[in-house]
Structures are given as C-alpha cells and as structure tokens.
Structure 1
Amino acid sequence: MNIVLMGYMGSGKSLIGRDLARKLKFDYLDLDNFIEIQEKKKISEIFADKGEIYFRNKESLCLKVVLEEYKNTIISLGGGTPCFAGNLENIQQDKNSKSVYLQTSLDQLVLRLFDERKKRPLISHLNLKDELSDFVRKHLFERSFYYNQADYKVITDKKDPNQISEECISLLF
C-alpha cells in the first residue's frame, strides 16, 4: 500500500511523511523532490523558467509514474497537486493507495510559512503577514474541496509530529 499525504504547504507533509516511513518501514518519496530530479531544476526554477502550467503538467505525469511504480511508499504531494489535472481522481482510483489530508488552521499555516516564504514560489512575493493570510485563506477555500475528498483527515493543530503520525497509523491500520 502507498500512503499519499495531502494538504496545504506548511501542513507538515514532508515531516510527517518521513516519520511515517520510518515507523512503518516504508519508503518515502516527496513528489516535489522527484520532479526536481526529473527536471534537474528546483521547483522555483521550473516556475520561473517554464511557468505554472508546465509545472502542473509535469507534476501530473510524475504522480502517475509514482503511483504505478512505487509500493509501500509514503508519498508527500505538493500543496496544489490534488487540485489539478485529474490528480485526485488518479489517487482515488489507485487500489493500492490511501490518502490522508493533514488539515492545518489558517493561523498555523501563516505562522509556519511567513519566515520561509522566499523559498516557496507561490508566496515569495508576499511581504506582510496580512497579505500572506489573505492569500492562504483564498487558496484554502479553493483547495479544501479537493483536500476533503481524502480517505482520511488528521487535524494537525496543537499536536506534535509524533501524535500526528500515530493518528495516521491508527486510521490506516
């Protein structure tokens, strides 16, 4: 079985994914890292050089490859992955995958993302916390439709990574 983690950027998909992989003795794959290896460029460079549409198409192709070729793997998606190009449907139709939405509140996301926004292409242009909050709020509104279709949902607020991982495990097994 593959476990697919989805949620907004800053929700902890990579951190929880690595922890789950260690605890379950699964492999770990970060879809953004997989794309960077395929493209031989950082995500921010792909966005800058070729644009978001190119990136989303590449992301979709890479997700299909990962779902087909990897087993017993924790897969951390990019924040927008389930919202584009039929990616959510591909995850839902994969008999060997279960999806988990790491739901994190707006306040927690803004707190986590503000200091690292320069590393994230979608929010690198936002210089004020209020701007970031408005941006994230709008995205969460648009993306929650997709995130909420995950097989399972784990609320991450006021929980440490170990608690979140253990909750995921108890839901999945």
Structure 2
Amino acid sequence: MKLIFLGYMASGKSTIGKIVAEKLSLPSLDLDHYIEEKEQMSISDIFQNKGEIYFRQAEHRYLKALLASEEDFVLSLGGGTPCYAGNMNLMGNSDAKTVYLRAGVGTLVGRLEQERENRPLVASLKPDDLAEYVAKHLFERNPYYMEADYQIGIDGKPIDTIITEVMQLFSQE
C-alpha cells in the first residue's frame, strides 16, 4: 500500500503520516525530507540557490520515483506538491491512495502563528497578513487538494479522532 497525505502547511500531514505508518507497519516518508537527503541541501537552500523551478522539478522527479518503486509506504507531501507539474495526475494514475487533510483558515492560522519561526514561507509575514495569505493560498490550492481519493476534515478534532478516521478508510477496503 502506498498512502499519501496532502493538504496545506500545518494541516498535520507529517504528524498524522508518522502515526498511521506506525499503525500500518509501513515506512513513513516526508517528501521534503526525502528531497533534502537526495539533494544534500535544505529546502530553503534549494529555493535560495537553485530557485523554485528547480525545486518543483526535483519534487516531481522524486515523487515519480517513489510512486514507481515496489516499496509500500506512507508519504507526507509538501503543501504545494499537488499543485505543480501534474503531480495530482501522477498520483491519480498510480496505485497510491491520497488523503486530503482538510483544515479551515482559522485552524491553519492558529497553528502557523505558533510555528512561525519554523515556517520560512510565513515567518516574515506580519501577524495581520497571515490570515489573508493562508486564505488566498488555500483558495488557489483547494481544487488540487479536492482531487484526493479521500478527504478528512480536521478542524476541532483531536489527533486520535483523525487517526481513527484514517484507519477506518482503509479497514473498509
């Protein structure tokens, strides 16, 4: 089984992915960490030194390689991954199952306010601009996210409830 979590930054993809991978006895992968390992450079450094186009091409290349592998895994994508280079089509044409962790603007802003220093894309934003930034990007990305095989709303839910909902999806198959 290849299971892929997608959604906006701070939606819980990495956290949920690790727990679900453990419950399914599968390796847990984070695409950003995978790219950093393969490129021997942080995502921030890739953006700064090689540019976003290079990063998006690398992201697509590594996603494609992972999907083509015989390995089973749980993969957490970067928030923008589904929106570039035909990545949703790539995943849709594979045997992977995709799960959109759907969060509202309020939930995302609340989480990002607490994690600003660890989030380069929002670290420099003024607090008053964060909600507008998130709302704009979520609006732009939502059509891609909505192509996922499954959607789980996460607003106001404890992590255990979200994990249970994910596990129920795959106990029915």
What is the identity, as a one-letter code, of the residue corresponding to 1:120? R
Mapped partners of 1:158, 1:37: distance in 2? 34
Aligned position for 1:117? 116
Aligned position for 2:58? 58
What is the RMSD of the two structures over their aligned residues, measured on CA atoms? 1.1
Mapped partners of 2:70, 2:20: distance in 1? 16
Mapped partners of 1:124, 1:57: distance in 2? 25
Aligned position for 1:73? 73
Cα displacement string for residues 63-96 of structure 1 (whole angstroms, at most 9, x for unaligned residues)? 00111125321000000000000100000000x2
TM-score by length of 2: 0.95
What is the identity, as a one-letter code, of the residue corresponding to 1:112? R
Aligned position for 2:39? 39
Counterparts in 2 of 1:70 and 1:136: CA distance versus 1, 3 Å: farther
Matched, 1:138 2:136: yes
What is the identity, as a one-letter code, of the residue corresponding to 1:4? I
What is the identity, as a one-letter code, of the residue corresponding to 1:149? E
Structure 2 residues without counterparts, runs of 5 or longer:
none
Mapped partners of 1:44, 1:70: distance in 2? 30
Structure 1 residues without counterparts, runs of 5 or longer:
none
Query: How far is 1:157 from its partner?
Result: 1.1
What does 1:83-102 align with in structure 2 at a 5 Å threshold?
A: 83-94=83-94, 96-102=95-101
Matched, 1:160 2:158: yes
Contact 1:5 1:13 in 2 (8 A): yes
Aligned residue pairs, count? 171
What percentage of aligned pairs have identical amino acids?
46
Aligned position for 1:108? 107
Provide the secondary structure at the position in 1 that maps to 2:123: coil
Runs of 4+ in 1 over 4 A off after TM superposition: none
Provide the secondary structure at the position in 2 that maps to 1:132: helix
Query: How far is 1:42 from its partner?
Result: 1.1
Contact 1:32 1:78 in 2 (8 A): yes
What is the identity, as a one-letter code, of the residue corresponding to 1:116? E
Query: How far is 1:31 from its partner?
Result: 0.2
TM-score by length of 1: 0.95
Mapped partners of 1:50, 1:118: distance in 2? 23
Counterparts in 2 of 1:150 and 1:132: CA distance versus 1, 3 Å: same
Mapped partners of 2:112, 2:64: distance in 1? 28
Mapped partners of 1:116, 1:8: distance in 2? 14
What is the identity, as a one-letter code, of the residue corresponding to 1:126? L
